Structure 1
Amino acid sequence: MTYWQSKLNYNPLKALLESENDAVIYFTKRDLIEEDVKPIEYLWDFPEVQKILKKQQPDGSWKPKGKNDENSEVKYSLIETWRQFRVLTQQYEMNKTHFAIKKASEYLFSCQTDEGDIRGILANQYAPYYTGAIMYLLIKAGYENDPRIEKGFKWLLKMRQNDGGWVIGSPGMIGTKLSRDETNDLTSNAERETMKSFDPLKPFSAAGTGMVLRAFAVHPFYRKSEYALNAANLLKSKFFKKDNWNSYKNPDNWVRFQFPFWWNNIISALDSISLMELSKDDPDIKNALKWLINHQENDGLWKVSYSTIHKSPDKKRTFKTRLWLTLTVCRIFKRFYENKNQLIFH
């Protein structure tokens, strides 16, 4: 048993290796046991991957069922492409050497504005949290040195609140009080101009900052930047606490998980922070790791949700997701307990 495994109450490797999920078994052997495995391209021929690729459109996008961009102000194809791109790049580690990923990446970049953000999910309004989450995947796909990624980082840095974090909604909407109807119209009507009445004095949102930080955490330069470290410090300070913003305000949102990542939660946040090599001895991080240890199930896996405000999903239906989440948690523990160059963060 390795040192990081000894920190857990139950052995997760047995459940992962006996899961009959070939992709999970592959990454368990490669990342946790450090066995020699076939080249990553081996996974790209799996039936579940090919099923996704067959639905890709000639322009590189994916079209959602029942939605048509031509009749909508919201780019539903952008949302659906992000959804599928998450699976291909985060779950199966596909990259731009594959023609389908290159096509999808170019489609995503085509949604980047001259300012630098990726726009369309909230019609014509800014969405730094979506921009960061999409850039995270593009960087993982091999575009870390692309000038369009650099342009995106410059925009994200420009969109920070004064405390160094980001908000969950369009920053242009936080300087003025808006009704629900007005907010809905702004985020669904592309004829509305981008609102720019910022209020940078308002505090950061952990939900928004967690999604943006993913892009910084996987970039070889920006993960070490003062900006990223400051944002990580803000993010961890809110672990298991209420957010500063109404969206995803309840602390239970920290313990409701998805894989591949979507919204911010304790696993996605720790994944970013562990990639940035912060210290496991930091009080906030130590507390989060302790929570994961205490909430591991006796089958060696973690549940998809420990929330009291959301409906508890069926374990059989979510077994595959539980495997991926457990693999991610194990990677996190391995980074924290085997990395000799961690930053002590105060």
Structure 2
Amino acid sequence: MASSAQEVILLGVCDGELEPKRHRSSHLTNKVGGHPDWSPIISPPWPRCGHCGAPLAHVAQIYCPLEASPYHRTLRLFACPGAECCGRAESWRAIRSQSLEAEREPSRSAPAQEAPLSATDWCDSADDWGVEEEGDGWGGGGGVKEEAEAGGAVLSCRLQDLSLGESHDDVPVFRSFFVSVVDESDLRGEDDLDHAQQLLREYESREGVAVGGLDCGEGVGDRGQEKYEKSRARHGDAIFSRFMKRISICPQQILRYCRGGRPLFISEPPANTAPVVAPCGSCGGSRTFELQLMPALVSQLRRKDAEAELEFGTVLVYTCTNSCWTEGSGSAVEEFCYVQGDPDQKLFK
């Protein structure tokens, strides 16, 4: 895997609102909320909550093709807004679909006003995303260990709870926004650093913790190499302090993308990861970290004239290392979500 200094991390931020009467979106569109867009060959699934059984609301759609692959490739995330389901991993689903260029929907002219961003914005550095090597098994480049413990130690990620072709009028539909993309390294100019340092000073004053200056070269390397702050925040969470330090350069980021990289944890992750992240339910191979949703997304996930209905710290998405797919398949593949609650959710409200 590329070194920390070379690791390309793409940040997604909310752009203009996607209004169905003015804009068209497709499976090549990066967006949050609204209805999911499916390619013509895919039978649209509608996943259900693993806790309460209710159909899930669409949270985000990310177009993320892989370098040298002939496939369009899109990830869609769904979640249950039920009060008893917030923060539960079984209440989140990540669905991957792929289609060949020849199978894509015929292009249509978009309305002149606020034309959607090019879906290829995510792909400018695609050749840097897929560089992988064996890691520590927890978001490292080589993906997650393939071992499956007997007796159900590995969580199952099957599509058995998906409802094909159903219409769910009672499912909440969140306001939809286009997602704009920026390379994290492009935000490290002098002006941005001054703003980031100011945010850090405000955080230090509020939390009673000395986090220290922002290290622009700081990466997300092996946990054994990470330099956690020695000062402890009032809530006693050094990992959360590091999380705040890292995102302060762009607090409005709603997602981070770095396939084969390492996630940014908001709280202590499990020490033994093999029983946590399940192998690919389609091919049985390993999974690797690809993207994560960030706390700033919470306030965006609401219906018109309504309060936010989901709460989470970060949602980490692990996908099949080989991105397995059967040519001509009409069935989407389920990937793996790992959910961490936010130790201090109020900071992002």
Q: Which category describes the TM-score, using the shorter chain as reference length?
A: under 0.3
Calculate the TM-score normalised by the size of structure 2.
0.25
Structure with higher RCO (Cα < 8 A, 6+ apart): 2
More helix by share: 1
More strand by share: 2
